[in-house]
Amino acid sequence: EQSEIVSRSALISSDAVIILPYDPINDRVLLIQQFRIGPYVKGDEYPWVLEPIAGIIDKEETPEQAGLREAREEAHLEIKTLLLVARSYPSPGISTEFFHQYVGIVSLPESTNLVSGLASESEDIKSHIFSYKEFSKMITKGIINVGPAILLGLWLSKNRNHLMKKYSV
Q: Which residue numbers are catalytic?
A: 121
CA–CA distance, 11 with 95 (Å, rounded to integer)? 5
CA–CA distance, 34 with 19 (Å, rounded to integer)? 15
CA–CA distance, 2 with 4 (Å, rounded to integer)? 7
CA–CA distance, 47 with 41 (Å, rounded to integer)? 9
Strands 81-88 and 115-116, bridge-based pairing: unpaired
**H helices within 16-80, ranges in order?**
37-42, 63-75
